[in-house]
């Protein structure tokens, strides 16, 4: 053995004693000793001697580490850029959303009479009913026109998709949500004939009045109601040629 390693006990560097044990007084030393013994055992082919834990545990049968429980993040509130939290359309599966016979009947009547579709989305096991109506094609176009004006006026930056979508949801919420818990929420409607400057002011004033200071949880609930409403209307529209879809459930 070289002089540089002469401070290593001969019991470690030589043959293994049958009852050889080490009891380091601190965890760092114990770890170093374990590593060195494992290395020497690999060279000699012998099993390494026991190294007692400073805490008094069994070094040969260490307790398994605690299993780490990993919960998937709630995408409504966690993960990623916080400014993206309101873009929720693609985050939750919609295949289990029920469409009732009554909703199908309301949808058909509205389409046949060219009237807004009106549905009540019930959240929290029916404890928060939100009544919504479909928007007109003019209102749809007007919302995008106003979003372009918002960009020009610096209310959000070009490429800031999160803020653009958030402002769009504000406008759609002000237009489409009529009642929450049976109480009037908005009667806002846009009709052709006014200049965009007038509609722009009307929409922005409504957003400030309805959503300024609203809590995040309530706002997320409104987003869920909008998303479910859109899903139901889109699904019923896509099933228009499927006769079986429109038959009353037995």
pLDDT digits (tens, 9 = 90+) for 128-140: 999 999 999 999 9
Does residue 34 sit in the same domain as residue 137?
no
Alpha-carbon distance of 99 to 237, in angstroms, equals 12
Does residue 100 sit in the same domain as residue 217?
yes
What is the structure's pLDDT at 35?
73
What is the reported pTM?
0.62
Does residue 22 sit in the same domain as residue 107?
no
Segment 3-19, tens digit of pLDDT: 555 555 555 455 555 55
What is the structure's pLDDT at 60?
56
Say if 133 falls within a structural domain: yes
Does residue 121 sit in the same domain as residue 216?
yes
Does residue 24 sit in the same domain as residue 114?
no
Segment 154-213, tens digit of pLDDT: 999 998 999 999 999 999 999 999 999 999 999 999 999 999 999 999 999 999 999 988
* Residues of the domain holding 190: 95-238
Between residues 222 and 87, the one the model is more confident about: 222
């Amino acid at each position: 053995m070289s002089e540089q390693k002469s401070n290593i006990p001969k019991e470690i560097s030589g043959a293994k004693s049958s009852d050889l044990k080490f009891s380091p007084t601190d965890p760092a030393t114990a770890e170093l000793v374990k590593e060195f013994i494992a290395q020497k055992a690999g060279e000699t082919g012998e099993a390494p001697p026991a190294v007692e834990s400073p805490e008094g545990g069994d070094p040969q049968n260490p307790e398994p580490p605690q299993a780490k429980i990993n919960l998937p993040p709630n995408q409504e509130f966690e993960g990623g850029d916080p400014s993206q939290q309101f873009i929720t359309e693609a985050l939750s599966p919609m295949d289990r959303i029920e469409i009732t016979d009554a909703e199908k009947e309301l949808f058909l009547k509205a389409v046949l009479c060219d009237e807004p579709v009106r549905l009540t989305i019930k959240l929290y096991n029916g404890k928060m009913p939100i009544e919504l109506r479909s928007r007109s094609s003019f209102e749809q176009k007007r919302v995008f026109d106003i979003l372009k004006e918002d960009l020009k006026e610096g209310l959000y930056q070009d490429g800031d998709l999160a803020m653009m979508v958030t402002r769009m949801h504000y406008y759609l919420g002000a237009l489409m949500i009529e009642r929450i818990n049976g109480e009037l929420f908005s009667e806002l409607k846009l009709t052709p004939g006014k200049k965009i400057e007038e509609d722009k002011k009307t929409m922005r004033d409504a957003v400030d009045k309805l959503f300024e200071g609203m809590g995040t949880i309530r706002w997320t609930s409104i987003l869920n109601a909008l998303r479910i409403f859109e899903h139901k209307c889109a699904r019923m529209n896509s099933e228009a040629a499927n006769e079986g879809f429109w038959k009353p459930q037995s």
